[in-house]
A and B are shown apart, each in its own frame.
Chain A
Amino acid sequence: MTVALEYYVLLSIALFCIGLFGVLTRRNALMFLMSVELMLNAANINLIAFAFYHGNLTGQVFALFTMALAAAEVAVGLGIILVLYRNFRDVDVTVPTTMRW
């Protein structure tokens, strides 16, 4: 038996919102990053579900691209977090506020 499309969408939306919640609440850079990953994966769920629904592979292929890029993004992100830690002795994203207004 197959699950109706709506459920997939609901799932992805839920995931997206969780991620967003994380982004807004977590002050730890890594948590922030993971939350973004959640949001990306929410998108992936959508893509795959819709690909299945539309019966073409575009979505799935694109999902692969997304994962790859997410990985790359994380790589760069970790680099930045590293220097962040080196400069601010902390990975709290709310610490660096030298530039404002």
Chain B
Amino acid sequence: MAVFQLPEWMALAPALIMAVTALALFVFDSISPRSTNRSLLAGTAAAGSLASLAVAVWFSTAGVGTPTIDGGLGEIEPIHGLVVDQLALYFMIVVAIVTALVAVASYDYLVDHAYQAEYYSLVMLAATGMSMMAAANSLVTIFIALELASLPSYALVAILKDNRGSVEAGLKYFLIGALSSAIFVYGISLVYGATGHLYLADIAAVIEAGGADGYGSLLGLGILMLIGGFAYKTASAPFHFWAPDAYEGAPAPISAFLSSASKAAGFVIAFRVFTEAFPVAATQELIGLDWTIAFVILAIVTMTIGNFAAATQNNVKRMLAYSSIGHAGYALIGLAALSADGGELVMGAAMMHLLVYGFMNTGAFLFVALAEHWDVGRTFEDYNGLSAQAPVACAALVVFMFSLAGVPPFAGFWSKYFLFTGAISIGSTAMLAVAAALVVNSALSLYYYSRLVKAVLIEDPLADRGALDQPTGLYAAIIVAAVMTVALLAGFGPIAEAATDAAAAALA
């Protein structure tokens, strides 16, 4: 493979490409801020993210990060604090996919929107931050990458300056974000205090060497605060409160972007930190308890809150927002299982879920974007009988809904049932509780997802609704997402393999 010849820093290419694209767009913006050359801007963004995707895929297939004995290249650490391994590449791929979809979709969504270039550059910047999060393996880099992802996101959510909803969403997102990052940093400081290190590997070394003895409660509090930071990023309880409002108020593509990519990024740092920095056994020695308990609780609470709150929503976008909280709960199972052996299976399942989620959830939000583009309204009733007028898009929506519900023949089935399988495979009481919660919640989710299907397919169309156009970009993005959601059912093998391998490598 040609990867050998490349200089090490090139390993970060997926993230760098994003950054470069962002800068390019900045430059363009500063030259002609009022430009509305949509195809150029969207094209650049899409091209950038696709390139990043391509490179990431190439690297991971080329074997970057796989242990060398398997003929892989082993992980590459170009800079102290940034590592490129299977885990990183996997999530870079997820981020890139979502970014590409969002960029393409925005092409139509941003018709007659004032500042187009800044929008795309912010998106790319956030994407860069998320890719960085995937690679960060020191609390410093993690924090920086996290902020790099967050700050543009705040702006993006509020970017519709004259739309009260958008602004309100931005405000809430920002305020809670600021609070959370404060807590997060404080957590970092405590961990640093307890161990004297910010580099994950060193932290682990100190903990295992017993160098932090006596600072148990300090470390415990720190870990808990870190968890808070992740919970915020992944929209998990109790830091989820921003999510429904932010997703509802934000421009739909941004909701898609945040609920899919940003969530995935949040999970990758969580995986990274808790697999590398806090070896379960040693940490338990120190802080007196197995921190996965926290995730067990969070998982159950999060999926329950998300699904229950989603069940009776009238606003489609808000329903999706809550459902994305619920899915965060599902993915948390991956973290909750880390203690036991066989944990890599569950963590892998969680990673698979995040990838599939990147397609189905993005697609779902993009359909909302389409609906907003059509201006048909936001509630379920407004969606009634859309299939009569837009069969293809609605077919895609049906795919997304059932896939989110985890009903075959869609990819969502695999990841959800693998999570379920994994939870059971651990076999501990806690995990059984989680599995039980999963059953109850998925029953409920079935109810509200099929509500949307019912609206578009079963209900009679609203009489007073004009003709609906077929915006190229949105349609393209939605259809690609749908096709992938279906195709991944058959082609799930490689993904499952990649995910489990990455998880195994991370846990090793």
Contacts and interface: CB of A to CB of B under 8 A. Distances in A.
Interface string B185-213: 11011101100111000000000000000
B192 A62 contact: yes
A62 B249 CA distance: 34
Contact of B186 (A39, A84, A88): A39
A39 B168 contact: no
B325 to A, nearest CB: 14
Interface of B is mostly: helix
Interface stretch (B176-184, B272-280, B460-468, B499-507): B176-184
A76 B162 CA distance: 17
Given A96-B167, A99-B169, A50 B193 contact: yes
Contacts of A86: 161, 167
Q: Give the residue among A62, A65, A100 with the most B Cβ atoms within 10 A.
A: A62
Interface stretch (B140-148, B400-408, B441-449): B140-148
Contact of A32 (B168, B175, B188, B190): B175
A69 B196 contact: no
Nearest to A32: B175
B143 A65 contact: yes
B186 A80 contact: no
B182 A39 contact: yes
Nearest to B162: A87
A23 B192 contact: no
Given A69-B144, A73-B147, A87-B167, A50 B189 contact: yes
Contacts of A29: 171, 175
Contacts of A51: 192
B151 interface: yes
Interface residues of B, number: 41
A40 B182 contact: yes
A36 B165 contact: no
Interface in A41-65: 42-44, 46-47, 49-51, 53-54, 56, 58-59, 61-62, 65
Interface string B108-152: 000000000000000000000000000000011001100100010
Given A76-B151, A77-B174, A80-B171, A87 B192 contact: no
Contacts of B172: 96
A72 B155 CA distance: 12
B154 interface: yes
B249 A99 contact: yes
A69 B147 contact: yes
B245 interface: yes
B175 A98 contact: no
B188 A43 contact: yes
A43 B179 contact: no
Nearest to B198: A58
A43 B164 contact: no
Nearest to A36: B178
B114 to A, nearest CB: 13
Nearest to B196: A54
Contacts of B178: 32-33, 36, 73, 77
A91 to B, nearest CB: 10
B248 interface: yes
A16 B174 CA distance: 19
Contact of B155 (A36, A47, A79): A79
Nearest to B161: A83
B196 A99 contact: no
Interface in B268-297: none
A18 interface: no
A96 B140 contact: no
B170 interface: yes
B370 interface: no
Contacts of B164: 87-88, 96, 98
Contacts of A79: 155, 158
A99 B192 contact: no
A50 B192 contact: yes
A62 B199 CA distance: 12
Contacts of B196: 50, 53-54, 56, 58
B140 A62 contact: yes
A23 to B, nearest CB: 6
B154 A98 contact: no
Q: Give the residue among A9, A59, A86 with the most B Cβ atoms within 10 A.
A: A59
Given A54-B196, A98-B168, A83 B158 contact: yes
Nearest to A96: B168
B424 to A, nearest CB: 34
Contacts of A98: 164-165, 168
A40 B197 CA distance: 19
B199 to A, nearest CB: 8
Interface string A81-101: 101101110000100111110
B244 interface: yes
Contact of B174 (A19, A65, A72, A76): A76
Q: Give the residue among B140, B171, B183, B198 with the most A Cβ atoms within 10 A.
A: B171
A93 B185 contact: no
Contact of A46 (B143, B155, B171, B189): B189
Given A43-B185, A65-B140, A73-B178, A99 B151 contact: no
B187 to A, nearest CB: 8
Contacts of A62: 139-140, 143, 188, 192, 198
A33 B188 CA distance: 20
8 contacts: A43-B185, A44-B189, A50-B192, A54-B196, A62-B143, A66-B143, A84-B170, A98-B165
